[in-house]
Chains A and B, each alone.
Chain A
């Protein structure tokens, strides 16, 4: 188990490094950063000055290692636009996004798993079909549009919840619904297929032959095995949700990491962009790693390896 964790950690770390290289290169090769920062109305001399000020005249490899050296010490430099260090900005914004992500995931799980279980138990009934319809429609809905619709209905027409900002817990409700709905269909479907597969398995027949109550059969024997892949998916979905927070946070003007990223992108604030990309990627990597470990703990067959 320890060897397994160590090897996975090693891979996770190297993937993080690779992501940082790729995102660094993508940003630096897509255009001249100095021109972007200086803006369209700047003179050649101004651009040159910016190039020197920001260290963009140095070789790219040098720039990368300089940045990476800072990054491992959690120093991502200063923001070009905001009057703060990148790290200061991130430590201020990250809790908001993590709260949002956790709420959204909790919401998605609380709806998706029971719905998937019911759909599987009541396979081919109207409940099953309703659940699948919700899932199919959910997968087709653009998240930003769903977010806007939520605002129109619940913030403007019904006036139940605020439309934007992050002052209180109420401000997190609509964003969490909008973000969570996005992860719900996939989790629901996986729970359903997992449950169907498990319910047809031999060991469920054995459990039934022991005369156990149907609830024991479903909750003790079936759910635990069906939910193992869903846990992995949930972790991965949380990673995706952190990435997707860009859209939702900007719609709800929630001051989180995603909105910081978007602000930075529109203002050519590259140190911030790079740091946000890396941090979201690192979270994704950590979450998939965590999923593997939880999987291994839930499934005794994996534990010995």
Chain B
């Protein structure tokens, strides 16, 4: 399997009046060609920051560093501004959370769909339009020809998100980053959009980084999962492994928060994780999850755990010495 994205020790920090906000604290990510990687975590865990850093869309004041940020063999961080623009949009594209505000109200959908491909692939306007119509149709937008001359305000939120998906596919990118693309939509439409993304991903063989806070979504579409907490990946595994055999106390806590049809009885108490996320300003001492963890020991307060292989396999990694240790004891 070919690796399309390889990120090592990505760090993002933002200056704020109260100090340096270290939103992403050393993340490793690998995405293979045609794979769907889900990044899960609660809001503020740095998952959106990660995606913006990958796209190069963070504001200038944000400081992005990484040991490696390779995209199909290219080092993204060493590209010139122009080369980066070429990669972004043509080879990697993005779907955003807010379909209502993510399209420019002043231009027609056709204009916005086509401008990227006309710039990057130097195709004619007609060819671009043809592709736009084809993709709109594939994205399930009714009357695709007519849509090209319409303005965003004439479409519903669900339709606009379909347009955004078509737009992301225009240049046949190798990687699409979808940042909570279903969060702002109605539940019924959410399911349709999810299915659509999964279908198109498999049809076009595009790799997708799907960012969400909803484990239910993850269960439905992910090949692999990375769980993020306080700017770090705390557990990463294939979707099957993660749901069948969660290791990190935070992952377990998250899974306990979801009601399971048939298992969770109506009216029964639903779990929640007590406490709040630690402030990401300045350094963190010890394990970031220590204050909310029910398995924490004294050592967790001052030793920062690293991401270790679980069962000796790099396919499942956990950032918790207790989880790994308890396993070793069991053997």
Contact = CB atoms under 8 A, between A and B. Distances in A.
A141 interface: no
A169 B106 CA distance: 38
Given A209-B89, A213-B85, A301-B151, A203 B115 contact: no
Contacts of B102: 202-203, 205-206
A299 interface: yes
A203 B103 contact: yes
A210 B115 contact: yes
B105 interface: yes
Q: Interface range on chain A: under 10, 10 to 19, 20 to 34, or 35 or more?
A: 20 to 34
B104 interface: yes
B98 A202 contact: yes
B17 to A, nearest CB: 13
Nearest to B105: A301
B-side binding surface: helix, strand, loop or mixed?
Answer: helix
Contacts of B164: 206
Given A202-B96, A209-B57, A213-B85, A224 B116 contact: no
A280 interface: no
Interface in B101-153: 101-107, 112, 115-116, 119-120, 151, 153
Interface residues of B, number: 30
Contacts, number: 77
Contacts of B85: 211-213
Interface string A201-231: 1110111111111001000110011000000
A139 B104 CA distance: 33
A296 interface: no
A104 B121 CA distance: 45
Contacts of A209: 55, 57, 88-89, 93-94, 96
Contact of A212 (B96, B107, B119): B119
A224 B106 contact: yes
A298 B116 contact: no
Contacts of B32: none
B87 interface: yes
Given A206-B94, A213-B85, 14 more contacts: A202-B102, A206-B96, A206-B164, A208-B57, A209-B55, A211-B87, A211-B90, A212-B115, A216-B115, A216-B119, A221-B104, A299-B106, A300-B105, A300-B153
27 contacts: A202-B98, A202-B101, A202-B102, A203-B102, A203-B105, A205-B57, A205-B96, A206-B94, A206-B112, A208-B57, A208-B88, A209-B55, A209-B57, A209-B88, A209-B89, A210-B88, A210-B89, A210-B93, A210-B115, A210-B167, A211-B90, A211-B120, A224-B106, A299-B106, A300-B153, A301-B105, A304-B153
